[in-house]
Amino acid sequence: MKRKLLIPILVCEALILAALVLMTGRRPEWFSSLLAFPFEQISHGFAVLSRRGALAGGIAAALYVGISAIPALAALRSAGKKETRAERISLFVLSGVLLLTLYGMAHPVLFSPFGGVSEGNGLVKAALGTCAWSFVVLYIILRLIRLFREESREQLILSMRKLLCALAVLFTGAFAIQLAGSLAGMRETAQTGLDKGMIIVRLTAVLLPYVLDILVILRAMALMDTAVREDREDLVKAAEKLSHTCCLALAVTVSVTAVANLLQTVLMRRLTDISVAAEIPVISVAFAVLILLFARLLTENKKLRDDNDLFI
């Protein structure tokens, strides 16, 4: 995926996820939680269709089985390949999990730990959705492990680009969910002006690392484009730009977090809403450090190759 195409996709993703977060508060019967999406909506669609008569009910049942069987059918396409065994097993299990998840979304009371009452339906749906998504992630990770072990240099770079795009989607999703959830909470809770200002400061400390991570990803994709062309001069320039962006991301991320914690400490006596959670963006810091080391290794490798050429 090209960088120019990735940016509008990320913007659309952020808008869709923000809308879904807001819908969980306005239409809880259809959007109980983000974790249950889209399994909850699919299950509700089956329920609506099944109430339209026997024929529609049969179609709903067929769709229920057909959608659940999609991962198993995908696994059968690569049957007989020993290297894909773990992936195929995860896909077969995912089909079973989808059967359970879609059924549980339609009948959450049967899974409720609260004695069959409906108060815990949202919790049950979130748990079922989390279970299904965890097996989707398991399949993706198993596939990535196989690809990284088997592919050539050019294919590895292409896979790394795909992985970076996936990380950009992940960071954008976290950004949109945090932003929409915080804004919705501010509207529903009566707070002083100072409290709202502090919430904005804390929210900035949480959201800014995601923005910087996406910027690092775009720089890293530019570096990989240069690596494919094997242009050594441009490779050094791209690696230096990536290193500069990583250093900037690290400095700004840690600084904003420290300033937010300091402000809360100084204003603590005047605040009615105090966050005692340690807002330390460990994932963003670790990601920036790893990409920085990757850029430095590419630069050093280029210098070593130049020295070898001079020696020869």
> Residues 166-186: what's their mean pLDDT?
82
What is the dihedral angle through the alpha carbons of 50, 51, 54, 58, rounded to the nearest 10 degrees? 0
Confidence class for position 91, pLDDT limits 50, 70, 90: very high
Q: Which residues contact 102 (CB under 8 A, 6 or more apart)?
A: 39, 42, 43, 46, 64, 67, 68
Q: What would the two tokens of residue 184 be?
A: 């919705």
- Do 128 and 112 meet the contact criterion of CB atoms below 8 Å apart? no
Question: Cα separation of 291 and 288, whole Å?
Answer: 5
pTM of the model: 0.70
Query: What is residue 178's predicted lDDT score, i.e. its pLDDT?
Result: 82
The CA-to-CA distance between both ends of the chain, in Å, stands at 38
Give tens-digit pLDDT for 32-41: 777 788 888 8
- Do 125 and 40 meet the contact criterion of CB atoms below 8 Å apart? yes
Q: Which residue is listed with tokens 């923000």?
A: 18
Confidence class for position 230, pLDDT limits 50, 70, 90: low
Query: What is residue 145's predicted lDDT score, i.e. its pLDDT?
Result: 78
